[in-house]
Amino acid sequence: MKKRSILIIGPIVDFGGREVMTNLLANVLKDNYTINVLSTTLMTKSSVALNNLSSNQWSTLSQNVYNKNVFLKLTASLTKAIYKRKEPAYFFIKNKLSNPFFNFEVLGVKTINQFLKQTDLIIYSDEITGKWLKQIIEFSEKDKIPLLFILTGKIKSTPSFLLGKTYSFNVLAHSKQNANSVKNKLDIKVWNIDQTTVLENKLLALKVKENKDLIYGFLGRFSEEKGINSLIKVFSKNNKKLILAGNGPFLNDVITLTEDNTNSVYLGELKPTQLPDFFDKIDVFIIPSFEEGGPIVGVEAMAAGKLIISTKVGAMPERMEDTENDFWFSHDVEHDLQNTIDAIEKLTKTERLKIRQQVRKKYVSNNSIASIRTQYLDLIKTLID
Greater pLDDT, 92 or 257: 92
pLDDT at 82 over 90: yes
pLDDT at 153: 83
Mean pLDDT for 306-334 is 96
In this structure, are residues 218 and 240 in contact, taking their beta carbons and an 8 Å threshold?
no
With beta carbons less than 8 A apart as the criterion, state whether 90 and 63 touch: yes
Predicted local confidence at residue 52, as pLDDT: 93
Residue 107 has a pLDDT of 96
Confidence of residue 15 (pLDDT cuts 50, 70, 90): confident
Give yes or no for a contact between 338 and 325, defined as CB atoms under 8 angstroms apart. no
Nearby residues of 142 by Cβ (< 8 Å), 6 or more positions away: none
Whether the per-residue pLDDT at 377 is higher than 80: the answer is yes
Residue 367 exposure: Cα atoms within 13 Å on the Cβ side = 35
The whole-number average pLDDT for the span 240-245 is 96
161: buried, middle or exposed (CB in 10 Å: 19+, 13-18, 0-12)?
exposed
Q: Which fold has domain 5-196+369-384?
A: Rossmann fold (3.40.50)
Please state the rounded mean pLDDT for residues 332-355: 96
- Asked whether 230 and 254 are in contact (CB, 8 A), the reply is no
Q: What is the mean pLDDT of residues 30-43?
A: 95
Residue with the larger pLDDT of the pair 103 and 257: 103
Residue 70 pLDDT grade (very low, low, confident, very high; cuts 50, 70, 90): very high
Per-residue pLDDT, 167: 86
* Amino acid at the residue 120: D
User: What average pLDDT does range 297-312 have in this prediction?
Assistant: 98
CATH of domain 200-367: 3.40.50.2000
| Beta carbons of 188 and 213 less than 8 angstroms apart | no
Is the predicted pLDDT of residue 16 greater than 90, yes or no? no
Residue pLDDT, tens place only, 97-147: 999 999 999 999 999 999 999 999 999 999 999 999 999 999 999 999 999
- Tell me the average pLDDT across 354-360: 97
pLDDT digits (tens, 9 = 90+) for 156-181: 888 999 988 888 999 999 999 899 98
Identical fold at 5-196+369-384 and 200-367?
yes
Residues 206, 276: contact at Cβ < 8 Å?
Answer: yes
In this predicted structure, the answer to whether residue 1 has a pLDDT above a threshold of 80 is: no
Domain boundaries in the chain? 5-196+369-384, 200-367
- By DSSP bridging, strand 58-60 and strand 166-173 are unpaired
What pLDDT sits at residue 370? 94
The reported pLDDT for the residue numbered 198 is 87
Q: How many CA atoms lie within 13 A of 228 on its CB side?
A: 23
pLDDT at 318: 96
Residue 118 confidence (pLDDT): 94
pTM: 0.90
Peptide bond into 295 cis (omega under 30): yes
Give every strand in the sheet of 121-126, ordered side by side. 58-60, 34-39, 5-10, 121-126, 147-151, 166-173, 187-192
359, pLDDT greater than 90: yes
Task: Report pLDDT digits (tens) over 185-233.
Answer: 888 999 999 999 989 999 999 999 888 899 999 999 999 999 999 999 9
Q: How far apart are the first and last CA of the chain?
A: 15
pLDDT at 164: 85
pLDDT of the residue at 155: 84
